[in-house]
Amino acid sequence: MDRLKGKVAMVVGAGSIGPGWGNGKATAVTFAREGAQVFCVDRNGAAAEETAKIITGEGGKAMAFTADVSRASEIEAMVAACLKAYGRIDVLDNNVGIAEMGSVVEVSEESWDRVFSVNLKSAYLAMKHVIPVMVKQGGGSIINISSIASIRHMGISYVTYGTSKAAMNQMTRTTAIEFARHHVRVNAILPGLMKTPMVEHSAGLANSYAKGDVEAMWRARDAQVPMGHMGDAFDVANAALFLASDESKYVTGIELVVDGGITCKAGA
């Protein structure tokens, strides 16, 4: 229960878009259960507060902060607030993402810019402002939440999502190399098909899978997985816990796939 004892963890995207456990919410709570003080960031202040209250209700330490992490000024304020509250940042978990449907022919320029701003620019800005803190304090762990859509076609058309996550993978690799000598580790997690509120509340995904029928979408997604079922938010959270902890002190620049075997299959 003390794998993160004494560490301060900033989880960006720590809320949940709806009832249940999103990846960021589960990660924030998991980090706290392992002894971390958790700085819970979300664009939805009420969602960030809900996560922080779960943590404090279990006897942990957490603080909620509202920020649009696609904006540099709000990232700067976020980092400053965390340092004021806890004095350091040992772990940064970038867990923000949206999916919008369409091929390169179908998506609008506005949609392209919006997805890249949320999915990629947010992680760039967070790393830009957190890495100097980690370098000064002697190291840290950064975890970028990507997707297996970054390395294969998933059978549905959402080019902006897959492409922005592929760019995140390369940003993770290059940043890992450039800051390895400072003991700042940078890794990515590539979740597969997960049963989370973000997926449930994405009308585009439900329409692409099953003409808007969410239950039919769940069945279709389960059938794609060699293990026979989707993962859940705590599968991602537990992978993040390993990368956040000192157990992974010699691990940097990797893409940790958490997908029930999908990427081992031929085809989509």
Residue-wise pLDDT for 216-247, tens only, equals: 888 989 999 999 999 999 999 999 999 999 99
Cβ contact 152:169 at 8 Å: no
pLDDT tier for residue 267 given thresholds of 50, 70 and 90: low
Answer yes or no: is pLDDT of 262 > 90.
yes
In Å, what is the CA distance from 99 to each residue of 46, 48, 164?
22, 21, 10
| Lookup result for tokens 């899978």 | 209
Answer yes or no: is pLDDT of 268 > 60.
no
pLDDT of residue 54: 98
Cβ contact 96:12 at 8 Å: yes
pLDDT tier for residue 200 given thresholds of 50, 70 and 90: confident
Sequence-distant (≥ 6) Cβ neighbours of residue 164 within 8 angstroms: 115, 116, 119, 120
For domain 8-202+233-258, give the CATH number.
3.40.50.720
Answer yes or no: is pLDDT of 77 > 90.
yes
Q: What does the pLDDT look like over 141-164, one tens digit per residue?
A: 999 999 999 999 988 899 999 999
Query: pTM to 2 decimals?
Result: 0.94
pLDDT of residue 26: 97
pLDDT of residue 32: 98
pLDDT of residue 120: 97
Q: Average of pLDDT values for 163-171?
A: 98
Active site members:
161
Q: Average of pLDDT values for 194-214?
A: 76
Q: Average of pLDDT values for 251-256?
A: 98
Phi and psi at residue 60, to the nearest 5°: -90, 180
What is the average pLDDT value for the chain, to the nearest integer?
94
pLDDT of residue 130: 98
